[in-house]
Chain A
């Protein structure tokens, strides 16, 4: 049953091949049996899930079910869930139970999905390997000595290990696309503003965007459909009409123009990864798309700009964790300063603390213009690069990551080496564009991701591009060995 795609599960439920309670129980059993080694979940909620499943079965029986009613899913532990612990993988929120649901959770609950649990992640979504989690590091199901990527590493590990058919994630600089790439999955980061940020614990507000990690593009389209909404509670949520994201999945790519940025194939790109991506691009040519080399001249400035903007926003976003109203509080504070200094030092992990300090530095008196303002200007240059490119092409494609999954601990000693992991995903985040990573081959036996980038709000096109590739290839159907 765990080999079924979401589309197949939905069909199976409607045709009464199995009930939601049955498939939910099946997944709960798998999680109980296998997650000790994978560590994809921070919290599993069997009772809540089975109750939701029973309600979904009733809806299915009554004939008022939606497309995803009864389908088990997992949520990244960054989305607040009423009554279920929401930790952001931080000691700071180890005891935090939100008194409200994130809009994403509310939307998917309303659609009738069943939440199996909350997935592991980098602490406050800061990381590219999930090694900053307070709850241990999820393993890459393809090679358990390796990382699943981050920050949505738990969601990727859960879907790759078939401990959930699909999961939500969030992406600030690559946190959906990179783990999807490393785990051989299809992950979509929608346009900034497409999915509500209400109840999604903020890392960097102008970059954070919720999305989906799935086994294929068709499933991703289904879940995104129920996830996206217009939300008056999020000022940055877009009022753009919510398209039928799957509308053109089966349409031909004949005549579509795909831009290939030369900067995405330079030094630092692993040879086998590059080869796999080139082969995928040739596949597109074979399907009738036109490949056009494009120039994104400011690409190499994206990582530096990002590592000013994201920490600066985070430094303020994380000030609320002060031990006063919720979250970790140190024992016996001697005075106010001590309460703040120790509660925050004890509650946050090293990477989070580093980023807060870098952010505070970049905003502080005398450095604002040289760092923060400069980074915001460079952000515009990067965004303009894309705008110019999209005048000539419909999509942009290239590798998601410079290399496949790396070993646990390999990059923890050097923050900068870890940051460069996101060199191809960060520019897209700065520009707020929709992008997807889909599996397109292997390097050293590990999955390689192809990144597909669209114009603002063209998730439909990006999903079509992904689905057409998946109709012609079978990389997305491969699963890691040993987890049957």
Chain B
């Protein structure tokens, strides 16, 4: 399936990745090639085949409800690009 510039625009906003005007055509071309590859799937009859999310038929283990984590704010915020008074700062959130 061919992807056009408009679709790249939409995807770039959905995935939060800006794509410059000049790169857009090239990105569209490469993604189109990838989609052409995966389009081979369409020819397969998968009627009645259960989707497989996980390679083993394993079952989830559950954890006991215990507080095991201590406050490590200082260590975690040491790698933060912008933190103040214990908060992560971002451009104004407008609802």
Within 8 Å by CB of B46, from A348, A381, A432, lies A381
Counting chain B CB atoms within 10 Å of each CB, the highest count among A191, A206, A456 belongs to A206
Contacting residues, chain A, for B12 (C-beta < 8 A): 341, 357
Instruction: State A371–B16 Cα separation when bound (angstroms).
Output: 21
Does A335 lie within 8 Å of B27, measured CB to CB?
no
- Taken residue by residue from 77 to 99, chain A's Cβ proximity to chain B (1 for < 8 Å, 0 otherwise) reads as 00000000000000000011101
Instruction: State A370–B17 Cα separation when bound (angstroms).
Output: 24
Contacting residues, chain A, for B49 (C-beta < 8 A): 377-378, 380-381
Does B42 lie within 8 Å of A370, measured CB to CB?
yes
Does A432 lie within 8 Å of B55, measured CB to CB?
yes
Instruction: Give the interface segment out of A107-115, A250-258, A322-330, A470-478.
Output: A322-330
Does A357 lie within 8 Å of B44, measured CB to CB?
no
Does B81 lie within 8 Å of A323, measured CB to CB?
yes
Interface residues of B in 42-95 (CB under 8 A from A): 42, 44, 46, 49-56, 58, 60-61, 63, 72, 75-76, 78-82, 88, 90-93
Does A334 lie within 8 Å of B91, measured CB to CB?
yes
- Chain A nearest Cβ from B46, distance in angstroms: 4
Interface residues of A in 309-350 (CB under 8 A from B): 315, 319, 322-329, 333-342, 344-345, 348
Within 8 Å by CB of A341, from B8, B18, B50, lies B18
Contacting residues, chain B, for A375 (C-beta < 8 A): 38, 41
Within 8 Å by CB of B31, from A358, A374, A379, A419, lies A358
Does A206 lie within 8 Å of B58, measured CB to CB?
no
Does A336 lie within 8 Å of B92, measured CB to CB?
yes
Known: A238-B58, A371-B38. A325 touches B52 (CB 8 A): no
Q: Is A144 an interface residue (CB 8 A)?
A: no
Does A307 lie within 8 Å of B19, measured CB to CB?
no
Q: For residue A298, which residue of chain B has the nearest CB? A: B44
Does B79 lie within 8 Å of A96, measured CB to CB?
yes
- Chain A nearest Cβ from B73, distance in angstroms: 11
Within 8 Å by CB of A329, from B40, B75, B81, lies B81
- Chain A nearest Cβ from B49, distance in angstroms: 4
Instruction: State A180–B33 Cα separation when bound (angstroms).
Output: 28
Contacting residues, chain B, for A239 (C-beta < 8 A): 61
Q: Is B11 an interface residue (CB 8 A)?
A: yes
Instruction: State A373–B18 Cα separation when bound (angstroms).
Output: 28
Q: Is A13 an interface residue (CB 8 A)?
A: no
Does A193 lie within 8 Å of B58, measured CB to CB?
yes
- Chain A nearest Cβ from B62, distance in angstroms: 9
Instruction: State A305–B42 Cα separation when bound (angstroms).
Output: 10
Does A345 lie within 8 Å of B52, measured CB to CB?
no
Instruction: State A433–B56 Cα separation when bound (angstroms).
Output: 9
Q: Is A406 an interface residue (CB 8 A)?
A: no
Q: Is A301 an interface residue (CB 8 A)?
A: yes
A-B contact count (CB 8 A): 174
Contacting residues, chain B, for A335 (C-beta < 8 A): 91-92
Within 8 Å by CB of B34, from A238, A374, A415, A430, lies A415
- Taken residue by residue from 383 to 426, chain A's Cβ proximity to chain B (1 for < 8 Å, 0 otherwise) reads as 10000000000000000000000000000001110010000000
Contacting residues, chain A, for B82 (C-beta < 8 A): 329
Instruction: State A431–B60 Cα separation when bound (angstroms).
Output: 19
Contacting residues, chain A, for B50 (C-beta < 8 A): 377, 380
Within 8 Å by CB of B55, from A329, A377, A416, A431, lies A431
Q: How large is the interface on B (under 10, 10 to 19, 20 to 34, 35 or more residues)?
A: 35 or more
Q: Is A265 an interface residue (CB 8 A)?
A: no
Q: Is A440 an interface residue (CB 8 A)?
A: no
Q: For residue A333, which residue of chain B has the nearest CB? A: B91
Known: A354-B30, A361-B31. A324 touches B42 (CB 8 A): no
Instruction: State A332–B58 Cα separation when bound (angstroms).
Output: 46
Does B51 lie within 8 Å of A380, measured CB to CB?
yes
Known: A95-B79, A326-B79, A354-B34. A364 touches B14 (CB 8 A): yes
- Chain B nearest Cβ from A95, distance in angstroms: 7
- Chain A nearest Cβ from B20, distance in angstroms: 8
Within 8 Å by CB of B75, from A96, A99, A238, A364, lies A99
Does B40 lie within 8 Å of A301, measured CB to CB?
yes
Contacting residues, chain A, for B19 (C-beta < 8 A): 345, 353
Instruction: State A308–B46 Cα separation when bound (angstroms).
Output: 16
Does B55 lie within 8 Å of A383, measured CB to CB?
yes
- Chain A nearest Cβ from B17, distance in angstroms: 5
Contacting residues, chain B, for A362 (C-beta < 8 A): 38
Does A378 lie within 8 Å of B81, measured CB to CB?
no
Instruction: State A334–B92 Cα separation when bound (angstroms).
Output: 9
- Chain B nearest Cβ from A309, distance in angstroms: 9
Instruction: State A358–B40 Cα separation when bound (angstroms).
Output: 15
- Chain A nearest Cβ from B12, distance in angstroms: 7
Contacting residues, chain A, for B27 (C-beta < 8 A): 353-354, 357
Q: Is A167 an interface residue (CB 8 A)?
A: no
A-B contact pairs, 18 of them (CB 8 A): A99-B79, A193-B56, A193-B58, A239-B61, A301-B41, A304-B41, A305-B38, A336-B91, A341-B13, A344-B15, A344-B16, A345-B17, A353-B19, A361-B3, A370-B42, A371-B38, A377-B52, A380-B49
**Further 8 A-B residue pairs, CB within 8 A, beyond A374-B46, A376-B53:** A301-B41, A324-B90, A353-B19, A356-B15, A361-B11, A381-B49, A419-B37, A430-B55
